[in-house]
Amino acid sequence: MRSENFPPGVGDEQDAAARAEHVSQRPPRLASGLFYRSGKLIAGLIYRVCPFGLEHLPKTGGALICPNHITWVDAVVLQLASPRPIRFLVFEGIYKIPWLNPIFRLVGAIPIHPRKARSAIEGAAEGARRGELVCIFPEGELTRTGVLLRLKRGFEIIAREAGVPVIPVFLDQLWGSIFSFEKKRYFTKWPKRIPYRVTVAFGEPILPKEATTALLRERLLDLGEFCFQRRPILQRHLAPSCVYGLKKGFDKTALIDGMDGSILTRGKLLAAAIALSRHLKKNHKEKRLGIVLPPGKGAFVANLAVLFAGKIPVNLNFTAGTQAISSSIRRGGVQTVLTAKAFVAKLPNFPWPGEVVHIDKLLPKLKTDIVRWFLVARLMPSPLLCGLLGLQKRGGREEAVLLFTSGSSGEPKGVVLSHKNVLGNVAQFGQMLDLDSSDILLASLPLFHSFGCTVCLWYPIIEGLRVVTFPNPLDVSKNAELIEKHKVTLLLATPGFLRGYLKRAKPEQLRTLKLTITGAEKLPRELATEFENKFGKTIHEGYGLTETSPVASVNLPDPLRHSPEDSVQEANRPGSVGRILPGMTARIKDPETGRALSLHETGLLFLKGPNIFEEYLDDPARTAEVLDNEGWFMTGDLARFDEDGFLFIEGRLSRFSKIAGEMVPHETVEAAIVKAFGNHNDETRSFAIVSVPEETKGEALVLLTTLEVDRETLRIKLSEAGLPNLWIPRLIKKIDRIPLLGSGKLDLSACKREAENALKGL
């Protein structure tokens, strides 16, 4: 049921008086009571509502209820959850629909008009004052993005005028019902199930004087996270989820290998993985198995096989240094690695552990087993197949995947991702993207990178997307050819990789792309502009960390308007990293004092949700530094939210220097330098700012650059750009190449060493 709430308008006084008189009238108790009870009985046959927090609803007395707004039937679901009748503010255009008007009048609904909202607000306040539960949808319209929109301020006025508490309420799992805008349409889709299960959570009351949009958004996000954590999918095991995913569309293409053009159907991928898993289960008893393979059919089969064997896949970063790889192997307890004979030859310095399994040699020997399992998998229903394979039904918080961080600021850390983490992030990301089986994903990001592991591997397997794989994201010419040849619709990349497309790809090669998402590092605005100018494609920036499994937020294309009267609902805001995913909540805290700030203030970002990692492997002290007992994760990033819920990352806390008591952001200084001098390398960085200890002011800034930059010229240009003298680098060091990791991120450790060497040379 759609509603609107707007700031008070100025209208005709007589009309306002008549409207106020009308909305304050209570419906006949007998008739409304009968309708209330019979309506709940009928609606209860369609919906199974599980309410939480009913103790927060006053048993007597008035209150203002403020829920999120997902579907046309939110009011029905909310009334099913509430033990007391609720009066709803309803958009006047809907209130006057002839066949609905008698019902609205019977339940005492209050019509509200966009330009004459004062009378409705007064009527709502009056009803709440005399002890009624009154509901206003603070977003003012149905979401067509599936996430919380801007909250309008009408509820603040009602709460203060009525002097009643505000009760935040979250309706969960309604996105996907026929009354939601999932799949970019209302109504014209089949119900996923009947009865339809919905979770409704009532939050703690907010005092009228404390009711603000920032606090209400925070509370609604908290309730959304609470509800999402109770979804049954989060208790499942990743292995049967993959079986169910591959069984759907058994004969459809799962993967096209960009190296040789070979095609694996979902059924063949499943059969090959099962056959290999039987071999691994019989011959390897260790808990974790390493995988050293680039994206391709071998890597997909290997990861699934390890999972089906009841073990934990560890995709090792073969682009890291020998010391970092050895550390990962040792700390992960990896004794056996799955790889390919041809790939081993490309890694002469790789510190291989005790046993190496060449799956390209092993799989041909299992051909008979693969055929047998293909026939079994085709004929046997998914539950029976999972039982035959001995797959666990429940995974929950048990370790599913082990990834090692890229080590941008030190030795790689083992990040333990649970079944709940991976399945939760797949569900979150899938809801936001809202793709279908016609979409095709280019999977060229390495699987040892969290973005590649979750989004390029587990997501398409579970959700039924086709993928085109290629082992090297830096080979832009080949990747562009594959996008054109296979009509790829979804491209995932880092800003560094996208620079290569600007230089070597042709516009017609990327014409089929519907969505280009970038992450791992901040997207420079000039890169986004150049890309859009050349290819006519918007880059949508996202944000995540290995510890968030990895996606935490993402920008997306604006949703379609269902009718000309619908407002534009932005899903993309340049400069931001989008809205946080469903099921996540956030806090902003002062980085020095730890004091809680408003979501709209800049401070240290904390996140909570089903996708937050479990722990750092065998490192409880480091885990405790960033993860508390309630599941709040300290990201290390300074951030803020705007009033529409878009997240802005202002910088990494480790990429700030405290100079003479002032916080200096490295990325802001870098951006000013790029603007002043230009980035003279199309595919990588020309500048990086690092800090080194300094006696008088605490720290000093060092500019690493591949160009010849005169310090006086630098000072003049940065001063003209408005940067304080304190922000101007003290030292400049010319180097051949700015150190980057395989993921495209800045290698902070290597940069720090370069800066320290520059200081020693003084």
DSSP string covering 427-457: HHHHHHH---TT-EEEE-S-TTSHHHHIIII
From CA 477, how far away is CA 487, in angstroms rounded?
A: 15
pLDDT at 80: 87
In the predicted model, is pLDDT for residue 134 greater than 70? yes
CA nearest neighbour of 418 among 303, 547, 304: 547
Residue with the bigger pLDDT between 759 and 613: it is 613
**Please, what is the Cα angle at 139 between 54 and 192, to 5 degrees?**
70
d(C-alpha 512, C-alpha 525), whole Å: 23
Domains of the chain, residue spans: 13-230, 660-760
Per-residue buried b or exposed e for 540-550, using 16+ beta carbons within 10 Å of the residue's own CB: bbbbbbbbbbb
Query: 141-155, 298-312, 362-376, 528-542 — which is least confidently predicted?
Result: 141-155
One-letter amino acid at 241 equals S
Query: 296 pLDDT exceeds 80?
Result: yes
Three-state secondary structure call for residue 331: helix
Name the maximum alpha-carbon separation found in the chain. Answer: 89
Which range among 319-328, 560-569, 666-675 shows the weakest confidence by mean pLDDT? 560-569
pLDDT at 678 over 80: no
**Tens-place pLDDT, residues 331-364:** 999 999 999 998 998 998 899 998 999 999 999 9
Q: Is the pLDDT of residue 395 over 90?
A: yes
> In this predicted model, what pLDDT tens digit does every residue of 248-284 receive, in sequence order?
989 999 999 999 999 999 999 999 999 999 999 999 9
pLDDT (0 to 100) of residue 21 = 44
Please provide the distance, in angstroms rounded to a whole number, between the alpha carbons at the two ends of the chain: 70
Top mean pLDDT of 103-107, 218-222, 496-500 is at 218-222
Question: For residue 102, which phi and psi values (nearest 5 degrees)?
Answer: -60, -35
Architecture, CATH, for domain 660-760: 2-Layer Sandwich (3.30)
Is the confidence at residue 762, as pLDDT, over 70?
A: no
- The strand ranges marked E within 433-538 are 440-443, 466-469, 490-493, 515-518
Token look-up 């330009």 returns 115
Does the pLDDT at position 372 exceed 90? yes
pLDDT class for 680, splitting at 50, 70, 90? low
CATH code given to domain 13-230:
3.40.1130.10
Q: How are beta strands 253-257 and 466-469 bridged, if at all?
A: parallel
Mean of the pLDDT values across residues 645-669?
79
Could you list the beta-strand ranges (E) of 614-697. Answer: 615-616, 633-641, 647-652, 656-659, 662-665, 687-694
Closest CA to 142 of 731, 673, 560: 560
Helices (H) and strands (E) in the chain, counts: 26, 33
Residue 83: helix, strand or coil by DSSP?
coil
Distance CA 467, CA 599 (A): 38
List the Cα angle 420/423/426 in 5-degree steps: 140
Is the pLDDT assigned to residue 19 strictly greater than 60? no
pLDDT tens, position by position, 373-388: 999 999 999 999 999 9
279: CB partners within 8 A, 6+ apart: 362, 366
Residue 408 has pLDDT above 50, yes or no: no
For residue 368, name the pLDDT band (cuts at 50, 70, 90): very high
Which pair of tokens denotes residue 440? 């095709």
- With cut-offs at 50, 70 and 90, classify the pLDDT of residue 550: very high
Q: In angstroms, rounded to a whole number, what is the distance separating the alpha carbons of residues 228 and 240?
A: 20
Q: Quick one: what percent of the chain has pLDDT higher than 90?
A: 54
Q: How far is CA 636 from the centre of its chain?
A: 17
User: What pairing do the DSSP bridges indicate for beta strands 579-580 and 312-315?
Assistant: unpaired
The pLDDT assigned to 9 comes to: 36
Mean pLDDT of all residues in 519-529: 85
Quick check: 542 and 577 in contact, CB under 8 A?
yes
In sequence order, the β-bridge partners of residue 692 are: 700
Specify the pLDDT at position 654.
66
Long-range contacts, stretch 356-362, CB < 8 angstroms, 24+ apart: 357/280, 359/276, 359/298, 359/301, 359/302, 360/298, 362/276, 362/279
pLDDT exceeds 70 at position 727: yes
Q: Please, which pLDDT band fits residue 195 given cuts at 50, 70 and 90?
A: confident
Of 648, 615, 618, nearest to 631 by C-alpha is: 615
Q: What pLDDT band is residue 90 in, cutting at 50, 70 and 90? A: confident
Q: How confident is residue 146, by pLDDT bands cut at 50, 70 and 90?
A: confident
Strands (E), 85-243: 86-91, 110-112, 133-135, 166-172, 196-202
Q: What is the pLDDT of residues 239-249, one digit of tens each?
A: 999 999 999 98
Residues near 33 by beta carbon (within 8 Å), at least 6 away in sequence: none
Q: What is residue 15's predicted lDDT score, i.e. its pLDDT?
A: 46
Name which of 196-200, 520-524, 702-706 the model is least confident about: 520-524
For residues 340 and 469, what is the distance between their CA atoms, to the nearest angstrom?
16
Q: Which two tokens stand for residue 566?
A: 């619908």
For residues 728-747, give the mean pLDDT: 80
What mean pLDDT is reported for the chain?
86
Q: How far is CA 227 from CA 52, 234, 584, 617, 639, in A?
A: 9, 11, 10, 28, 25
741: nearest Cα among 426, 221, 319, 292: 319
For residue 13, what pLDDT is reported?
Answer: 43
Tell me, what's the pLDDT at 44? 64
**What is the pLDDT confidence band of residue 719, given thresholds at 50, 70 and 90?**
confident
For residue 31, what pLDDT band results from cuts at 50, 70 and 90?
A: low
Residue partners of 756: CB distance under 8 A and separation at least 6: 692
pLDDT category at 610 given cuts 50, 70, 90 is: very high
